[in-house]
Structure 1
Amino acid sequence: MSRGKFEHLQACTNADGIIAAVAMDQRNSLKKSMEKLVEGSGTPEAITTFKRKVSQVLTRYASAILLDPEYGLPALQERAPGRGALLSYEVTGYDPQVVGRLPHLLPNWSARRLVEVGTDAVKILLYYNPADAGWINEIKQAFVERVGDECRALDIPFFLEPLAYDNLHPEQSFEFACLKPGYVRSIIEEFSRPRYGVDMLKVEIPINSAYLAGSHSFKGKEVAYDWQEAREHFQALAATSKLPFLFLSGGVDDTVFREQLELAAEANVPFSGVLCGRATWKGGIPVFVNDGEAALEEWLQEQGVQNVQALNAVLSQCARPWHTIYGGLEAIEVTD
């Protein structure tokens, strides 16, 4: 592994080699959450302030933070000393009027410019449906290859966050819950290939716990999998990946996300940590919108920190160092 990629990956980990990172690169979704509460509240200034407060408080208990260059640069500068930095490179969201959920890069940014403002890694979110038309997925594959080549040239880690979707079924439907494990495996298999230059996969939990009987979020109706089947889906995911991988929270509550991570550990899945966003800080949105910055800071100091520490406790028992998949640090040859 090249020295730059190795050292910047290490910069994003805790002392145990696990990535326990806060994800705070939400843009449109954060704006919409604010606007649902009070129309006009999701201003650029408000979004920037929210990110700053989350960074100031929660990075004291995290190994790194993921931000965006549009609203997050002040927050990047106010993270706790010694914490890693990741920056998103993609335009947030997608145009629902255009087929294929095609990705776009921020037009006034490059991987080089992200490095110049202090990132340790470049992150891309990509919507991907393995069953899409070939021309759609070729566009997306070439897109990832280009970003991988940029990161390789700059000797900076490349984190890829592929999100599964289906053209027929909503992501929260029972039908999609049944398809999701296979989609996630197929996506991981594709983007583990060396041609893409990905260093770390940020992957979805391969099940929807709302359809797992007995889980915290079970809806009490349709069952897509039992606990043994759920464990097998986690194991199949791990067997497919040739790269270290993190789990994303996908917006579920913190108790649900911790349960999912514990299930992964039961399945002996060697995940390398988390990039966890809304599960830790989304409860602060109404506090901020209704009561202001000082009230948000108080909430973060209490509930936000509690959420992160509870997640860290699970990671200390369940996660493995990122280099485990390579046989440990001693098995990695760092080249200049």
Structure 2
Amino acid sequence: MQLSAGKLWGMRRMADAEGLFKMTAVDQRPPIKGPIARYHGTAEAPWEAVADFKTLLIETLQDQSSAMLLDPHFAIPRGIGKLSPAKGLIVTLEDSLFEETADGRLSREIDDWSVAKIKRMGGDAVKVLAWYRPDAAGPVREKQKDFTKRIGEACARHDIPFLFELLVYPLKGDAHQTSDYVEMTGKRTDHVLQSVSDFAGPDFGIDVFKLESPVAAKDMSEGGDAKVQAAFDEMGRLAGRPWVMLSAGAGKTEFRNILSHACRAGASGYLAGRAIWLEPFGLYPDWAAMRQGLETGSVDYMRDLNALTDAAATPWHRHPAFGPGGAQFSPADQSFRHGYRDFG
């Protein structure tokens, strides 16, 4: 793999000085809007409350983060002024509302939002989540692939990294139906691995994978560490590029265990949200207590995750995909400006 100038710079902006990703997700919408709406007894959560909580997350967690993932609905309008310019800015493109068809889920972009706008506002990377099941109906799979390719092409055109998240989900005939943004109950390792394989080709333009555990969090201790580690190792091999772990609502202990396996398999860190901040969020609307919980328990947990990442993760620029010399600026001579093209 050879990264273009803009993608190389964006990747560096997301990582710390050692090339490790310690990224905090603040872009969640239903997992934050839902509990707030229920508390207030309203169909929709008050915009100010959601935006204020996301701003609180930025204020309290950014010091431990190499980058933060923000959404254009709440986090950016209210909280961007609180984000340090020393931190990487990842911006969400996918809509949290997906189309649930009889044959599977279809993703879409946020209305009036685009890769071009993310680049124009100064974003360092574009993040997109796509629901995917390798055993879903062919037309649904192809639409999800076309959706991803289109975004990958736009990221290449605007020279900005594409951070791609995959989540398996229950099909119509599966048990434990849910549309929540949580780990699928009863998910199969082969479905997770095949999903990664299906999007690993160069035509999707993905620069970083944000991946879920190939083994259900509750089953991490089953079958022995060797069996679990083998699944993570295979996922890293299939990804074929830098990758990070997502938390998918896992508990603190569970996610730390997941991250440990991932780092041993070559992951370059994490991009997590609820594992970090869910406990203090449960204290809503006690803002003082939420802040205290974030500044103590959440920050301490991030320090633990960061220590694990420092000790065991693979710097993204040293991923084997970039060859023996790692990711480098090219061409590193006076010809650079002649070959570097404008948007088109």
Task: Please confirm whether the aligned pair reaches a TM-score higher than 0.5, indicating the same fold.
Answer: yes
Query: Residue 36 of structure 1: CA displacement?
Result: 4.0
Q: Measure the CA separation in 2 of the matches of 1:319 and 1:255.
A: 18
1:173 equivalenced with 2:177 (yes/no): no
Q: Which residue of 2 aligns with 1:88?
A: 92
State the one-letter code of the partner of 2:37. Answer: E
Identity %: 29
SS at match of 2:270: strand
Structure 2, unaligned runs of 5 or more? 177-182, 332-339
Per the alignment, do residues 329 and 13 of structure 1 end up closer, same or farther by CA in structure 2, a change over 3 Å counting?
Answer: farther
Alpha-carbon deviations, 1:261-295, whole Å to 9, x = none? 22334xx31101110100111112122x2312x33
SS at match of 1:26: coil
The partner residue of 2:277 within 278, 281, 296 is 281
Q: Which residue of 1 aligns with 2:18?
A: 16
Q: Measure the CA separation in 2 of the matches of 1:99 and 1:172.
A: 17
Q: Measure the CA separation in 2 of the matches of 1:173 and 1:190.
A: 22
SS at match of 2:135: coil
- Say if 2:8 and 2:329, in contact at 8 Å, map to a contact too: no
Q: Measure the CA separation in 1 of the matches of 2:148 and 2:184.
A: 26
- Say if 2:170 and 2:184, in contact at 8 Å, map to a contact too: no
Per the alignment, do residues 95 and 139 of structure 1 end up closer, same or farther by CA in structure 2, a change over 3 Å counting?
Answer: closer
Alpha-carbon deviations, 1:29-65, whole Å to 9, x = none? 2111223444348311111001111111211111000
- Say if 2:259 and 2:270, in contact at 8 Å, map to a contact too: no
Q: Measure the CA separation in 1 of the matches of 2:260 and 2:124.
A: 29
Structure 1, unaligned runs of 5 or more? 214-222
Q: Which residue of 2 aligns with 1:250?
A: 248
Q: Measure the CA separation in 2 of the matches of 1:9 and 1:263.
A: 23
Alpha-carbon deviations, 1:78-128, whole Å to 9, x = none? 112300000110110424465421011111111111122221101110000
1:211 equivalenced with 2:211 (yes/no): no
Alpha-carbon deviations, 1:66-87, whole Å to 9, x = none? 0111111132331123000001
Alpha-carbon deviations, 1:282-332, whole Å to 9, x = none? 112122x2312x332222221221121111111111211112222466453
Tell me the TM-score normalized by structure 2.
0.87
How many residues align? The count is: 318
Query: Residue 333 of structure 1: CA displacement?
Result: 4.5
- Say if 1:94 and 1:101, in contact at 8 Å, map to a contact too: yes
1:56 equivalenced with 2:64 (yes/no): no
1:133 equivalenced with 2:137 (yes/no): yes
Tell me the TM-score normalized by structure 1.
0.89
Task: List, as ranges, runs of 4+ consecutive aligned residues in structure 1 with deviation greater than 6 Å.
Answer: none
Q: Which residue of 1 aligns with 2:259?
A: 261
More displaced stretch, 82-91 vs 116-125: 116-125
Q: Which residue of 2 aligns with 1:193?
A: 201
Q: Which residue of 2 aligns with 1:334?
A: 330
Q: Measure the CA separation in 1 of the matches of 2:324 and 2:213.
A: 24
The partner residue of 1:75 within 52, 73, 79 is 79
Q: Which residue of 2 aligns with 1:231?
A: 229
- Say if 1:323 and 1:329, in contact at 8 Å, map to a contact too: no
Alpha-carbon deviations, 1:112-147, whole Å to 9, x = none? 111222211011100000011111111111111110
Q: Which residue of 2 aligns with 1:219?
A: none
Question: What is the RMSD of the two structures over their aligned residues, measured on CA atoms?
Answer: 1.9
Q: Which residue of 2 aligns with 1:154?
A: 158
